[in-house]
A = this chain, B = another copy of it.
Amino acid sequence: MIDRTPIALLSDFGCQDGYVGVMKGIIAGIAPHAQTIDISHQIPPQSIIAGRFCLMSVYPYFPRGTVYLAVVDPGVGGQRRGVAVRCREGYLVGPDNGLFSGIYSLSPPIFAVSLTNADYWRLPVPSSTFHGRDIFAPVAAYLANGVPLEVLGDAIDPLSLVHFPLDPPIIADDRLLGSIQYIDTFGNLITNIPASVVTGKNWSIELAGTIIPHRFTYSDGDWGEIIPLIGSHGWIEIAIFGGNAQARLQLDWGDRITVITASRQNVTDRDP
């Protein structure tokens, strides 16, 4: 463990009510030398799917040994387990509800425990509604201090962790039928079609019957133009240079996107 182990926080708590601050207060008491880093606290309320994408997209950029403390937890106090998980590059702490499954797709869980050892919770007893404060924050802080995962609770089968696999795009000849898996603050539409499937190819999107060829960056188009490109997350993305694609195109989470790659068939079509 390095001296200033990062604890990366993600939640849907917003920043208004002190729910995030109180978790950091707990951490400061247990692990004063850890550094807390906010990934986001504005995940749409109870949207496990948005939190999952956000965690997956930042995971490759944090240092080895980072503890990820993530709480999007509609089932708090109910049947869902609280877990701590070791992956190759770091530790995950939070509810076992699929929130971490984007990370699992990058880095399979190696070892996991159900958080059953109350010695590492905030005393006297946890509330039934805020495990982020009472269980997950202290556990993350102890992990940052070097407490071994094994003492935090009962070992569980990593394969039993809740895993939402990514909805894959459908590939039909030169057409890729994908969908929008995330929309960011700028209104950029991030699809579930990975960059790798179009690497080295010419590709376009088809939008309401119009074919729009890909670009390399936002400013490759004119101001206000629709820009299909490989986004920084590594997925095919649709943006508007200087504008908001979600608002302009009236598209939403889950809507279908068709990508066309230049292929033999297209050439044949034009050359009968």
Question: Given A129-B229, A186-B45, are A218 and B76 also a contact pair (CB < 8 Å)?
Answer: yes
Contacting residues of chain A (1-59) with chain B, CB-CB under 8 angstroms: 2-4, 6, 8, 10, 13-22, 24-26, 28-29, 32-33, 35-43, 45-46, 54-55, 57-58
Number of copies: 3
Decide if A265 is an interface residue (CB 8 Å cutoff): no
Q: Kindly identify, within residues 198 to 257 of chain A, every residue whose CB is under 8 Å from any CB belonging to chain B.
A: 216-220, 229-232, 239, 241-242
B39 touches A232 (CB 8 A): no
Please report the C-alpha to C-alpha distance between residue A122 and residue B14 in the assembled complex, in whole angstroms.
30
- B4, B55, B57, B242: the one contacting A32 at CB < 8 Å is B4
> Is A77 within 8 A of B28, CB to CB?
no
Interface size band for A? 35 or more
Q: Name 16 extra pairs, CB < 8 A, besides A21-B37, A28-B63, A77-B217.
A: A3-B32, A6-B25, A14-B185, A17-B54, A17-B185, A18-B39, A26-B61, A28-B35, A74-B242, A76-B217, A76-B218, A77-B216, A78-B220, A129-B218, A129-B231, A134-B232
